[in-house]
C-alpha cells in the first residue's frame, strides 16, 4: 500500500495545498525523478501540470537531486538538506535519492500549467480578501 502526501504550491497565488494520495492514485509517481513533470489528471486535479521539486522519506530526510539510491551520507556546503553556516563550513548530512519510491512520504509539486478551475476551488478553500495597508496617521 503506497501513500504520499502531496504539497502543491501555486506560484500565481503564493499558496500551498495538501492532498493525500493512496494506492492507484499514487502509482503514477513511482519511478519519477525530481525535475520531471506529471499531469494532474492521474490524481483528480484535471487540466493541471505539475513539476516535481522534491520531497522527503518516512524518516524526514530530504530528497536531493543528483543522488542515486535510497539514502546517502554526503558532505555538503549548502543547498537541500543543509542551510549552511559560516563561509567554507561543510557538514556531513544524510539525504535521499532523487527517484520516488515506496518509502517516500511527501512529494513537493509546483504548478507548471494552470487548469480551468483554480486550486482554491478544487480544494474547497475560501480565498481571503486582501487586507488594506494600514497607515499610521497622527491626528492632532
Helix, strand, or coil (residue 28): helix
Per-residue model confidence (pLDDT) at position 16 = 94
Report pLDDT digits (tens) over 59-82. Answer: 999 999 989 988 999 988 888 888
Report pLDDT digits (tens) over 105-115. Answer: 999 999 999 98
pLDDT band with cut points at 50, 70 and 90 for residue 129: low
Residue 95 in contact with residue 82, Cβ under 8 Å? no
Per-residue model confidence (pLDDT) at position 40 = 92
Report pLDDT digits (tens) over 19-46. Answer: 999 999 999 999 999 999 999 998 889 8
User: Which cell numbers hold the place of 46?
Assistant: 484535471
Greatest alpha-carbon span in the chain: 69
Per-residue model confidence (pLDDT) at position 84 = 74
What is the arithmetic mean of pLDDT over 100-127?
Answer: 90
Report pLDDT digits (tens) over 83-102. Answer: 777 888 888 999 999 999 99
Q: What is the rounded CA–CA span in Å between residue 25 and residue 7?
A: 15
- Confidence check: pLDDT of 128 > 70: no
Amino acid at each position: 500500500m503506497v501513500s504520499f502526501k502531496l504539497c502543491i504550491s501555486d506560484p500565481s497565488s503564493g499558496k500551498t495545498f495538501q492532498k493525500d494520495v493512496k494506492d492507484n492514485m499514487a502509482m503514477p509517481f513511482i519511478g519519477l525523478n525530481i525535475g520531471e513533470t506529471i499531469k494532474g489528471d492521474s490524481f483528480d486535479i484535471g487540466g493541471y501540470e505539475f513539476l516535481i521539486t522534491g520531497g522527503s522519506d518516512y524518516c524526514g530526510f530530504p530528497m536531493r537531486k543528483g543522488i542515486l539510491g535510497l539514502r546517502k551520507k554526503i558532505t555538503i556546503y549548502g543547498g537541500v538538506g543543509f542551510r549552511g553556516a559560516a563561509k567554507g563550513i561543510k557538514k556531513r548530512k544524510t539525504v535521499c535519492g532523487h527517484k520516488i519510491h515506496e518509502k517516500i512520504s511527501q512529494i513537493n509539486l509546483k504548478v507548471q500549467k494552470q487548469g480551468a478551475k483554480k486550486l482554491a476551488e478544487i480544494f474547497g478553500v475560501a480565498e481571503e480578501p486582501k487586507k488594506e495597508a494600514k497607515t499610521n496617521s497622527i491626528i492632532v
